[in-house]
Structure 1
Amino acid sequence: MIRTVSAGETAPTTYAWPVQARGLRVRAGRRFAVDGLDLRLGFGVHGLLGPNGAGKTTLIRALATVARPASGHLELLGQAVDSGGDLREVRRGLGYLPQEFGHYRWYTVREFVEYVAWLREVPARDVPDAVQRAIDRVDLTSRAGSTLRSLSGGMLRRVGLAQAVVGDPTLLLLDEPTVGLDPEQRARALELLRDLGRDTCVVVATHVVDDVAAACTDVVLLDAGRVAFHGPVAGLTAAGTGGADPEVGGGVLERGYAALLRRHRDREGSK
């Protein structure tokens, strides 16, 4: 699929893959949390799974242009961010929800989403409609005038989703987006992700395998900063039913997750 990006650009850019990485290495402190990663992501919802310390958050930070690559190649929205690409252009086209997002406690929901729209350089004439659409999409319409300090944890997480999707970014990066949501809110958030994935590259880092099965078109499984598996969600199911260790607890998807990790580690150990 070819996507032509025009809104807010100084010159049109055409690219086939919103995310391309080759031999990518990114530090987290003194170690390489992402270590020689090869990855290419198109439009759709991509689940990012892996054990603690696998490099999920560091990879998301690199895709958000928060963490700089130490080596390798990283191209986002047609810009080679490791070698002189236009970071401002990339940042206009991406939305980002970190695990913990900073916010101004005294801002209202509407004021905060407006502020992020301004940071993303959404054209001024489009801001009111873009902000209202983002607030409506996360079911906070009735709380648009409430201050952030007055909201529950689950509502704040939904504000985080609203600020990430305002302006309809082409690349959407979400780190644990359903944490703190009740079952009804979680179901609506996953429905939103499915809707967004029709014309957006959405990357969702999570520990909840069921969220991946419910919302994602494919899954990227990381282990020690490398890709252990990249394929359809059905690949987890197949790995969980085709000779997975019966002593591993959980459902089919969890068993598939464990089996794919084990296979990857066996391959790495035999090199």
Structure 2
Amino acid sequence: MRAVSAAETAPTTYGWTVHAEKLVVRAGRHLAVNGLDLTLDTGVHGLLGPNGAGKTTLMRALATVVKPAGGRLSVLGVDIAGRGDLRRMRHDLGYLPQHFGFYPRFTVREFVEYMAWLKEMPKADIPGAVQRAIDRVGLTTRADSRMKTLSGGMLRRAGIAQAIVNDPRVLLLDEPTVGLDPEQRLDFRELLRDIGLDSCVLVSTHLVEDVAAACTDVVLVSDGRLVWQGSTGELAERGGAGDAGDSATERGYSALLRAHRGQVSA
């Protein structure tokens, strides 16, 4: 029997959970992400920006759906732009795209089980993990309902369940609160805070109030580039009485975008 060295059993270390340097990603012929620098670690990070800012394309690149066209991108120490072990990394990844597909005749349980199988989770662990994920998104009583019978908000919660079923170390959620009612959004924020205690969560949304309530960090992008990154408190301090928005956080968001556009046009 071969002896196993300490180096072989030591945990993999890396500087940042997510690290992008001069990242370039195309959406068709368009450079949706163009020279973006970004570092993320454990916590809940809100991804904000106007329509066409490159948020969804960035999420797709982090989820390994699209390959970067330039620059460097690593997730959990794996080089996404090169020849890293993407299959291994995907075991620790959860992703909810803005529009996700499903078999309408699947029940919620079958849908989440199927996604757990695709993520190559150990067979013995799947039933318990599926039930836990369904419970965490508040679909316990609808676990055996067919997907085609669910409301839009319930479908979104089923999508969140499949994203968290493998207890991912990196969780990517693109517009996860679409269709959720106010009470469900409050529950979702609590769920995010819980997951963010030991995972890196990136949430793309247009709802600034969700970011202010659930996120520890804000990433603001525009024109495919990083405009600003900081805490929600720092974001609120950036705005003034003359900036658009109903809250300090929204006014800070508006002020940063206005300043960025002024620099671009100068």
Normalised by the length of structure 1, the TM-score is: 0.92
Q: Which amino acid aligns with 1:239?
A: R
Aligned to 2:13, the other structure's residue is in SS state strand
Q: Does 1:160 align with 2:156?
A: no
Q: Does 1:265 align with 2:261?
A: yes
Normalised by the length of structure 2, the TM-score is: 0.94
Aligned to 1:15, the other structure's residue is in SS state coil
Q: Which amino acid aligns with 1:182?
A: D
Residue 26 of structure 2 corresponds to 27
**Structure 1 unmatched runs, 5+:** 1-9
Residue 192 of structure 1 corresponds to 191
Q: Does 1:64 align with 2:60?
A: no
Residue 250 of structure 1 corresponds to 246
**CA–CA separation in structure 2 for the residues paired with 1:118 and 1:235:** 41
Residue 215 of structure 2 corresponds to 216
Aligned residues: 258
Equivalent residues of 1:245, 1:259 under 8 A apart:
no
1:261 Cα deviation after fit: 1.1
1:266 Cα deviation after fit: 2.9
**CA–CA separation in structure 2 for the residues paired with 1:71 and 1:129:** 41
**CA–CA separation in structure 2 for the residues paired with 1:16 and 1:217:** 19
**CA–CA separation in structure 1 for the residues paired with 2:105 and 2:245:** 45
Q: Does 1:85 align with 2:84?
A: yes
1:16 Cα deviation after fit: 3.4
Q: Which amino acid aligns with 1:101?
A: F
**Structure 2 unmatched runs, 5+:** 1-8
Equivalent residues of 1:37, 1:227 under 8 A apart:
yes
Equivalent residues of 2:245, 2:254 under 8 A apart:
no
The Cα offsets for residues 104-139 of structure 1, whole Å up to 9 and x where unpaired, read as: 100011111011111111111111111111000001
Equivalent residues of 2:91, 2:166 under 8 A apart:
no
1:268 Cα deviation after fit: 3.6
Residue 117 of structure 2 corresponds to 118
Residue 150 of structure 2 corresponds to 151
Q: Which amino acid aligns with 1:41?
A: L
Identity of aligned residues (%): 63
